[in-house]
Amino acid sequence: MTTMRIEDEIKQSAFKSEFHKAYINLLYTSNYLEQEHGTLLKPFGITSPQYNVLRILRGQHPKPATVSLLIERMLDKTSNASRIVDKLEVKDLVTRKQCPDDRRTVDVLITDKGLALLKQIDVLDDDTKTGIHNLSEKEAAELNRLLDKIRD
């Protein structure tokens, strides 16, 4: 995508205020990054939420994770972890088995195939390749401060 101000990108000539513009700009930029990432993942046959779950599972490995833990750590808390795990299980990227200690919970574990897939993706998914690196480190820190303040 070529350089564009948010006004041009959504063909809206004016915003009510700098606040309103920032609101739209934030949603738009997030979509932009997510779409870019989805495109990167496509050749590997997984979607962005599936990738995020795999990453959490690698973080736990060799310990298993429960579905609750996945929900807790997912970016989108309201998404449906069970069904994302379904898709990963079909692809043999994770295993799922009832936990003997508490039979309500399920132990989800990343497989060797899952770990190998992530390793392949790691090479491409270096964050120096994301748009974030158009910022200086100081700017990135400032962005973090502003975003945390929005959610206060």
Site residues (vs a copy of itself, CB under 8 A): 1, 3-6, 9-12, 16-35, 72-76, 78, 127-128, 130-135, 137, 139-144, 146-152
121's contact among DNA, a copy of itself, none, with CB below 5 to 8 A by partner kind, is: none
**Based on the number of CB atoms within 10 Å of its own CB, is 149 exposed (0-12), middle (13-18) or buried (19 or more)?**
exposed
Rounded distance, CA 128 to CA 51, Å?
18
Residue 139 CB, shortest distance to DNA, in Å, is 26
Size of the site for DNA (CB under 7 A): 29
The yes or no reply on residue 95 touching DNA (CB under 7 A) is no
Classify residue 61 as left (phi > 0), alpha (psi -120 to 50) or beta. beta
105 binding DNA? (CB under 7 A)? yes
Instruction: State the alpha helices, DSSP H only, in 17-136.
Output: 18-41, 48-60, 67-73, 81-90, 112-124
| Interface residues toward DNA, by CB under 7 A | 31, 34-35, 38-39, 42, 47, 49-50, 66-68, 76, 78-87, 96, 102-106
